[in-house]
Structures are given as structure tokens and as C-alpha cells.
Structure 1
Amino acid sequence: MKIEDYKLLLKMNEVGTIRGTAKAILISQPAVTQRLRYIESYFGHTIFIRTPKKLLPTPAGELILNHAKNVMKGEAELENHLASSAKRVQGTLSIACSSLISQRFLPSILGEYTSKYPKVAVELVTGISENIRREHKNYHVCIIRGEKLKECTSVRLFDDPLYIFDTEPFPKNKLKERPLISFSSDDSMHEVVDTWLYEHQEEIKPVKTLTVDQIETCKQFMKQGIGMAVLPESVSDSMKEEYPHLPLLLDGKPVTRGTWVCYQEGVRDLPHVDHFINALTNQSFLDV
């Protein structure tokens, strides 16, 4: 049985004749008769008795008509619930985010988002962008550094300039030899730094490389005079005012790390995902 069949029965009971029903719903009288025969065959009972004046429901017909009313009432209630649910932003939002972004920017963005949409449950994984790329299909939204995800829709959030910092000055026309402190990151970050150092090997020569796990540890080691560190502007805070530094330039252009929000086709049809992506793309990063 289709919803249209229940609607037809209720309309026939309301109008009282097959001819009048056909006229009301704009189909032919034989079509109405044929459909009624199918419905009666489906239930195995006569639903209406024809009299000269109007159609009269049989006892079985009254039961079927009551059932039809309940079906239509249920349909209306379902439509109302669906409409109401569509207006409420709810569901589970899964995010994979670069560790740097999760430390520096995500707390305030998520705080405002969850305050506005308290019915959304957030599942968050943080880590190195390289690892997130491999598992990107497991998440609604990925926030990564470096190269964009070509398999997804990728929107650039901001470009993060790189600087090399030290507690000791960067002299001109003289080779600077100092340890280099590096933090765990994806290969693209290390490649960028290696390329820049190669291009500036007559000015800066790392005598050894110390590798630490977190970017914050790298900052603190540099501040203690242990060595140089290449850091993005997003985590440098007031360091440019306090410590000697140089911007990383190649061919006269700043060396930057792109930050991207990436998502698969169709996920923005989910209101809670769409609102979060809007929150990200409307965010001002690095005050630009």
C-alpha cells in the first residue's frame, strides 16, 4: 500500500462518490474504480457499498479508514519531526587536526562552536599532517599543514611564514655555525627547511641537529640558547620582538606553510559539519 492509496480512501469517504472523487483529485473515474478494486483485493474486504446517493463504508471499511487516518497522522508527525530536526544542529562531528592548529587556534573555535551548537558531539584526533592524510576518509573534516589533499575539497585557511630564531645574532657577511633544533613534523616541513639551508649554506651552517617531539619544546630549547630553531609565525607570539631572527626567503619570496581545511564531497549536506567548516573559513588567522 502506498500513501496515495490511503489518501484516496479518505477522499472517497469525504466526497461520498467515485465520480466526485475523480473530479476532486483530477483523474478519470475508471482509474479511481480500478484503484479501489486493487485496495479491496489487498485487504481482502469490501470497503465501500455503493448506494444511489453515496458510498457507505462497510464494518471492515471503517476499520481500514481508521487505519488510513492513523497512517496519515503518522506521516504528518514524521514530517514535523524531520523538519524540526533539520532546524536543530545536532549529530557527531569527527575532526582530524594538525597538532599545531589544535594547540594554537582550535580551542577557541571549538569553544564557540560547541557553545552555539551544544547538541553536536565532537570527536577529535590530533597529530602530524602526514598521518592525517593517510586516514582522511575516516573523518568529516581534516585540518592539515603543507600540501592540500588532492582527493578532497581543500580550502586554504592561511599561509604561515617561517622564521629562523636564535638567542645569538645573525651576522652579515659571516658564517654562523650553531646547532639546529628541530621538532617532529611531516616530511614537507623538513624539506622546506633543508632547501632553505642549502640555499644559505654560506651564511648559516648547522653544526648538529637536535630533534624534539613538540614545537613548544623546540621553542624553549631555543630560548635557553641551545641552538637555532625554524618556527612558524603562528607560534612565535612576541618572539620576533625579543630574539634575533630571519625570515625564510627563497627567490625573494617568503617561505610559508599552508594550512587547509579538507573534506569529502557531500559532507556539507550535514548541517553540523557545514556550520563547523563555515566557522573555520570565517576565522581570522594571524590577524589577517
Structure 2
Amino acid sequence: MKIEDYALLLSLNKIGTIRGTAKSILISQPAVTQRLKYIEDYFGQAIFIRTPKRLVLTPSGEMILSHAALVIDQEQKIKNALAESSKEVQGTLSIACSSLISQRFLPAILGEFNTKFPKVAIDLVTGISEDIKRDHRNYHVCIIRGEKLKETTCVRLFDDPLFIFDTEPFPENKMKKRPLISFSSDDSMHELVDNWLYHHQGEIQPLRTITVDQIETCKQFMKQGLGMAVLPESVSDSMKDEYPHVPLKLNGEAVTRDTWVCYQEGARRLPQVDQFINALTTRSFL
């Protein structure tokens, strides 16, 4: 059995389907099925029952999954111990990062980091901040948007002001009625927008909401004149020079999305983690 086999079992149990797991770990469905058969043959036991909705653990599977989690945990502990004892910056750096930050800033940051510390292996997961918060103990470093992560050390990286854009002007002393284009994000982002719209309901009234999956799709829909879009400054690029926009403000203060780097107590004893956090906290984002 390889460590990757135990990791596969944990992914199958978490995601619940062979198809979803294959998509998540970027290998083919038949390859996942074949690997699972090998593992079940190795233990001589069925690990999952295949139902129409999801995989269900057998009693033997529950014991094997507990063993798999222990193996993965022990593997990570020895890697951390070796990295901590080494004078050279190396080992694995596991990062969970908000999709927006991973698209806009992370490639350049990791490029510079990899050049400086080529022996550090990067283990990266991107997604919505709420999902990252739920699984934050699985990572050395979490870069999230919105509220900071409880029970961790959090450092604010930057405040990201929000603007509402449109291809049509925002007239003074006249109600603006347009569709609102929204992108998939965590609840805190939607709450900020809904709260601002509530306090400006005499000026702006969304006719309906168009929901898209990615922030880039949201931008392109707005540019095609399909409606208004609330976007953070970090992804607005030169849009403020090209399109009518209004900064979101409440009581004279800008409405912003905070971006945080969060980590567990003691994580900075690992040189690769400490150096990466230093790279983040000394960087200018906006």
C-alpha cells in the first residue's frame, strides 16, 4: 500500500462518488475504480457499498478508513518533524486559498517563493472561503476572505473595497433599475452586498439576479451590458477608467472585503511555513 492509496480512500469517503473523486484529484474514473479494487483486494474486504447516490462505508471499511487517517496523519507529522529539524528550507507546504486570491495574486507569489526555496513542495487547494474554514486543520496556511478564522492566528493582508459597476450611468436623484449579476462566493460577501442595497433601496433597485459561477464570468456579463455587478477593487483592473461605477459606502465608510492569512499555533516553527507567511505579510497587494 502506498500513502496515495490511503489518501484516495479518504477522498472517496469525503466526496462520496468515484466520478467526483476522479475529477477532484485529476485522474480518470477507470483509474480510480481500478485502484479501489486493488486496495479492497489487498485488505480482502469490501470497503464501500456502491449505492445510486453515494459510496457507503462497510463495517470493515470504517476500520480501514480509521487506519488510513492515522497513516496520513503520522506521515505528515514525520514530514513536519524532519522539516523543522533541518536548517535548509524544504518539506511540504500545504495551502488552502480563496479562489479570487489564487487567481489574482498567488501565481506571482508562489513563483517567487519557488525560485527562492526550490526544495519546498507546494500542496495547494483553492475554493470558497467557507469551505476552507471548515477544513482548515488540514492545511499549514489558509488564505481566506471575509471574517477571520477562529481558533487560529490571523494576520490581515489587505482590505479590498467594493464597487458596483455597470455599462450605464448611475444617475443622481433618480432610481436606477437594472438586473444584478452575482458570482458564487461565501455568505459574508452576499451579506455585504445585500446590506448595502438595503440601505440604498431608494437609489438602486435590482430587477432580478443573474447568478454565475466565476467572478470573471460576472465581469464579462457586466461588460456586455447585461446588468450591474459588485466587484472588489483587486479584480477591477482598469475597469474604473472604462465603466460607470459607484464605491460601496455605509455611514461614510468604504465597504470592504478583508483578506487574511491564518495558521495554527506552532505552524511557524516549520521553516517553509514561516518563510511563506513572511512572503505574504511583507507584500503590497493593492
What TM-score, normalized to structure 1? 0.70
Corresponding position of 1:167: 167
**Match for residue 269 of structure 1?**
269
The change in CA–CA distance for 1:120 and 1:145 in structure 2 (over 3 A counts) is same
Give the percent of matched residue pairs that are identical in Structure 1 and Structure 2: 80
Q: Distance in 2 between matches of 1:118 and 1:218?
A: 36
Displacement after TM superposition at 1:86 (Å): 2.6
2:134: which partner in 1? Answer: 134
Match of 1:226, as an amino acid?
A: L
Letter in 2 for 1:189: M
Letter in 1 for 2:208: K
- What is the CA–CA distance in structure 1 between the aligned matches of 2:196 and 2:272, rounded to whole Å? 41
Query: In structure 2, what is the Cα distance between the partners aligned to 1:192 and 1:161?
Result: 11
Amino acid in structure 1 at the alignment position of 2:130: E
Question: What is the distance in 2 between the residues matched to 1:115 and 1:277?
Answer: 16
Counterpart Cα distance in 2 of 1:83 and 1:216: 38
Q: Matches of residues 1-288 of structure 1 in structure 2 within 5 Å?
A: 86-286=86-286
Distance 1:234 1:284 in 2: 12
The aligned amino acid for 1:216 is: E
Equivalent-residue separation in structure 1 for 2:93 and 2:157 (angstroms): 19
What residue in structure 1 maps to residue 75 of structure 2? none
C-alpha distance 171-140 of structure 1, shift in aligned 2 (>3 A): same
Change (3 A) 1:167 1:263: same
CA distance in 2, matches of 1:91, 1:239: 41
Counterpart-to-counterpart distance in 1, 2:161 and 2:254: 6
Q: 1:84 to 1:175 in 2, by over 3 A?
A: closer
Point out 4+ residue stretches in structure 1 off by more than 6 angstroms: 82-85
The aligned counterpart of 1:61 is none
Cα deviation, residue 84, structure 1: 11
Question: What is the CA deviation profile of residues 236-262 of structure 1, one whole-angstrom value per residue up to 9, with x for unaligned ones?
Answer: 000000000000000110000000000
* 8 Å CA contact retained: 2:83, 2:89: no
Kept after mapping to 1: 8 A contact 2:84/2:269: no
1:257-288 Cα offsets, whole Å, 9 max, x none, are 000000000010000110000000011011xx
Aligned length: 205
CA drift at 1:216: 0.2
| Aligned-partner residue type, residue 108 of structure 1 | A
Q: CA RMSD in A?
A: 1.4
Q: Please list the CA deviations of residues 99-119 of structure 1 after superposition, one character each: whole Å capped at 9, or x if unmatched.
A: 000000000000000111010
Change beyond 3 A, Cα 1:139–1:83: closer
* Number of the residue aligned with 1:16: none
Secondary structure of the corresponding residue to residue 101 of structure 1 = helix
Task: Give how far 1:153 is off.
Answer: 0.1
Q: Does the C-alpha gap of structure 1 residues 172 and 92 become closer, same or farther in structure 2, counting only changes over 3 Å? A: same
Structure 1's 180 and 122: CA in aligned 2 closer, same or farther, altered over 3 A?
same
Question: Could you list the runs of 5+ residues in structure 1 that have no partner in the other structure?
Answer: 1-81
Q: Structure 2 vs 1, CA of residues 275 and 175 (structure 1 numbering), >3 Å: closer, same or farther?
A: same
The letter for the 2-side match of 1:253 is: E
Question: Is the radius of gyration larger for structure 1 or structure 2?
Answer: 1
CA deviations over 1:73-116 (Å, ceiling 9, x no partner): xxxxxxxxx89963210000000000000000000000000111
